[in-house]
Amino acid sequence: MNKVFRIAIAGAGQMGLAHAEAYRANGAEIVAVLDQHPDRAARLAQAHGGRAFTQLDAIWAEQPDALSICLPHSLHFEVAMRAVAHRVAILIEKPHCVSLDESQALREACARNGVLAMAGFTHRFLATSQHLKATIASGRFGRIDLAVDRLIAGALRSAHPHWYRQRALAGGGIAMIGMIHAVDRLRWLLATEITTVTALTRTSDPGCDVENTALAMLEFASGAQAMLVAHRSPVHDHERAHHYDLYGERLNASCAVGSFADQELRYIGAADLGSRTVNDDQPFVAEIQEFVSALSTGRTATPDLRDAEIALEVVLAIYESAHSRRPVDLRIQRDTPSHPPPLSDA
């Protein structure tokens, strides 16, 4: 009989709920929910099982096999290190850490303790991303020369978590919380490393000390180039949406992702590929299926902490370039041995 994994959730906000639902859909049991607000922890525990806690160290008595970390970004590292010390596997939301020093210490601790760790880059598990990945792998695009990626989200309002607007808790703004998905998705789709970053950011939303606009030009080891734009629009009825285009030698693709359940992928240049509209996708279920499958077989899970570290490194390079007004050459930074080696395989 398959083992029923015992899961703890840290952070009973919107992602804590999405993870809890997805674990249950994968046959796992929620045994503990942690939140600083006892009512939030209790509500999630009541809906999905387990005991509610406000203190991290109380959850280990429930003997979880794994912990999902769905907290404000600056708390991820400390909570992850405590889980690793208790030999508890971690699924850690993006960005997994807010500095490369934290990231390297966490990777080393997981390796030393033999603890499974997966990073929450949900965009890889979207039905449209999976289709594109397979089409790219089949060689239909030929060489991919250019990607253009645009994320427009609503301005931060009272309905958003308050910590989203605080650099001390979020580590950054729209680049850290939103564009990081595009960075990881493109790097994974193109299966090549980002080598240089040139960026601009702008902080113009009153009451926020994080950027609400980010523009980044990326160069890849393959020679491909990408332009990424992310913006929080103050216009009230602007719905959050990602649009991105890939331009290849023989094929182009255009993808729109509104809510995760609402996606459209169009190929240009191959009549047989046509277009697909997806309105019943469950990427969190697919993401957590990968984690649970890795837990049950003892294999590693993808994306891992090295993927997370590289995406974080690119976002930090966006900030560095925006500050210095100069391109950042990641190849030079990676020459130091503590940085992650180039991607060998996607």
Ligand X SMILES: NC(=O)c1ccc[n+]([C@@H]2O[C@H](COP(=O)([O-])OP(=O)(O)OC[C@H]3O[C@@H](n4cnc5c(N)ncnc54)[C@H](O)[C@@H]3O)[C@@H](O)[C@H]2O)c1
Q: Which DSSP category does 191 fall into?
A: T
- Closest contact distance (angstroms) between CB of 287 and ligand X is 8
Query: Min. distance of Cβ 36 from ligand X in angstroms?
Result: 4
Q: How far apart are CA 311 and CA 111, in angstroms?
A: 20
Cβ nearer to ligand X, comparing 15 with 214: 15
Closer to ligand X by Cβ: residue 59 or 251: 59
Token pair for 217:
């030009």
* Number of residue whose CB is nearest ligand X: 13
- Name which of 15 and 286 has its Cβ closer to ligand X: 15
**From the CB of 1, what's the least distance to ligand X, in Å?**
31
**Strands across the sheet containing 263-268:** 275-278, 263-268, 252-257, 241-248, 144-154, 225-233, 213-220, 194-202, 328-329
Q: Per-residue x/- mask for ligand X, residues 125 to 164, rule CB under 6 A?
A: ------------------------------------x---
**According to the binding rule CB under 6 A, does residue 120 interact with ligand X?**
yes
The terminus-to-terminus CA distance of the chain in angstroms comes to: 32
Binding residue (CB under 6 A) for ligand X from 7, 15, 67, 136 = 15
Q: Measured from the CB atom, is 58 or 332 closer to ligand X? A: 58
DSSP letters for 33-76: EE-SSHHHHHHHHHHH-SEEESSGGGGGGG--SEEEE-S-HHHH
Closest distance between ligand X and the C-beta of residue 3, in Å? Answer: 26
CA–CA gap between residue 121 and residue 260 (Å, rounded): 13
What single DSSP character describes residue 6? E
Q: How far is Cα 71 from Cα 34, in angstroms, rounded to an integer?
A: 10
CB of 253 vs ligand X, minimal distance in Å: 21
User: What amino acid is encoded at 286 in this protein?
Assistant: A
Q: For residue 76, which of 323, 305, 254 has the smallest C-alpha distance?
A: 305
- Asked if 11 interacts with ligand X (CB under 6 A), we say yes
Binding part of the chain for ligand X, among 12-20, 107-115, 148-156, 320-328 by CB under 6 A, reads 12-20
Under the criterion CB under 6 A, does residue 36 sit at the interface with ligand X?
A: yes
When binding is defined by CB under 6 A, the residue of 37, 299, 326, 331 that contacts ligand X is: 37
Q: Is 281 an interacting residue with respect to ligand X (CB under 6 A)? A: no
Is 35 among the residues that bind ligand X (CB under 6 A)?
A: yes
Number of H helices, E strands in the chain: 11, 15
Beta strands across the sheet bearing 51-53: 51-53, 29-34, 6-10, 66-69, 89-93, 117-120
Q: Distance between CA 211 and CA 26 in Å, rounded?
A: 37
ω into residue 72 within 30 of 0, thus cis?
no
Of the candidate spans 32-40, 272-280, 294-302, 322-330, the one that interacts with ligand X by CB under 6 A turns out to be: 32-40
The residue (of 76 and 140) whose beta carbon lies closer to ligand X is 76
How many CB atoms within 10 Å of residue 293? 12
Residue (12 or 67) nearer to ligand X, CB: 12
What residues between 64 and 103 interact with ligand X by CB under 6 A?
70-73, 75, 93-94
Q: Tell me if 122 contacts ligand X by CB under 6 A.
A: yes
Decide whether 71 or 118 has the Cβ nearer to ligand X: 71
Of positions 9, 31, 33, 34, contacts ligand X by CB under 6 A: 34
Q: Which is nearer to ligand X, 12 or 305 (CB)?
A: 12
Enumerate binding residues for ligand X (CB under 6 A).
11-15, 34-37, 40, 70-73, 75, 93-94, 120, 122, 161, 177
